[in-house]
Structure 1
């Protein structure tokens, strides 16, 4: 396995004839500054720090580390909502978005790497003690659901939602959880850790639970805007190789531990 990882890293960087040493010296866009934004409520992967308009999390630290190694400065930009963050990257105002799922619509606007940074689970949050049946997507037709604007839950769910679901989209995960708590919704669709952090924050652990059946388990990425000057094959190859390297060295596992512990303290 170590040999195959090494081969992958070598090939992905060498495929364009540009080494890491070359990237350190060659001219790069915007005076070697790359702009990054992300989901404001998706701990431990990325979230807004309390009382600061700054983003932190595993994904942010990984990108800072990777770009620092080729002498590129990262400018981390907080955007108030997930929907707006996606739009800013789509338009090319910001270069990188973390940590979206890949779907058919998004690949029209963002260049996704070959390998996700993390795997994630999309789940349903429901009221404890309330009868709720879900074995297939069609079971959700009779319920009122909520989720945040522009969040994707995999192609199958997204397509089903367009014609068959009573699903209201809100600006923030916290709004969604509050809708569930006061009875304005029967379920919330959200990422497992993102939703859990809000449930803990609002001290609703005794009244809200996670339904056992998952909607999807899929990868989370750090794609580059197709309109960004940083949309270059050598940068994509470099990020792919760094993700593999950080996995191989156990760096990502250490960061996961660090930020899960921080998340638990905060929430």
Structure 2
């Protein structure tokens, strides 16, 4: 009898964690999270999240929705995590970020080839120009420090920002190449815009986990599996699959 009890206790103690189902959300973000032609959720963030959950023995459901709604879902605890958010002090109040980022977005200026805009890494050189920006985006600390002295035109999307540039409503726009490329292709303006150097800043994207859910054990396991994927090169390879550049951070 004692031997039977010992065997049962040993089996229970060595059993893997109970399989669970998790619910992630996110907004349409080219190459990071989007629907393919068959309506399936695809992208770098989806690939990584599904692979980690598979390794942990869990199932995962991902929904794509407007960013504001996705953030609210995580804030209120109606979703376990959001895929791809940049860090901000406000968001840190209601979400735990993954230990490491899984993609990077260099923020750059675009203008017309014949533009007289001068960008040398100093915002003072742009004070005579009108700059197109996208509502809610993070353009870095240096931009924030100079924003009050700049002429800004705010719109809701990258497409709207490029259209402003095409119709001479602005002199230059701020975005990142990952979001710019599909818009440039769809508008057929590849020869009508140029990207300026140097970059303004680099934003990093994370997984953000709701503080309203009991996720400590899952977050620790998720971070550990992500670290393994980073060390063995899987994260860099997946970035290359979506034609993204990524420098591994350990």
For this structure pair, what is the TM-score category when the shorter chain's length is used for normalisation?
A: 0.7 to 0.9
Unpaired runs of 5+ in structure 1? Answer: 1-20, 27-31, 262-267
* Residues 98 and 208 in structure 2, CA contact (< 8 A), matched pair in contact too: yes
Aligned equivalent of 1:156: 142
Q: Which runs of 4+ in 1 moved over 4 A?
A: none
* Corresponding residue number in structure 2 for 1:257: 240
Which has the larger Rg?
Answer: 2
Q: How does 1:107-118 map to 2 (within 5 A)?
A: 107-118=92-103
Counterpart contact for 2:102–2:206, Cα < 8 Å: yes
CA RMSD of aligned residues (A): 2.5
Gaps of 5+ in 2: 1-13, 245-250
Q: Report whether the alignment pairs 1:178 with 2:163.
A: yes
Cα distance, 1:64 vs structure 2: 0.9
Which residue in 1 is equivalent to 2:70? 85
Shift of 1:22: 6.8
What secondary structure sits across from 1:64 in the alignment?
Answer: helix
* In structure 2, distance between residues paired with 1:142 and 1:93: 46
Deviation digits for residues 99-136 of structure 1 (CA, Å, limit 9, x no counterpart): 12213232123211221112321111212211112231
Offset from partner CA, 1:136-192 (integer Å, 9 cap, x none): 12333332223333221223324543x333333333222222222222222222122
Match of 1:73 in 2: 59
| TM-score normalised to structure 2 length | 0.80
SS at match of 1:44: coil
Cα 1:91/1:120, change in 2 over 3 Å: same
Deviations 1:56-101 (A, max 9, x none): 211111001111222322221111x334433333333333222122
Aligned pair count? 230
Tell me the equivalent position of 2:128: 142
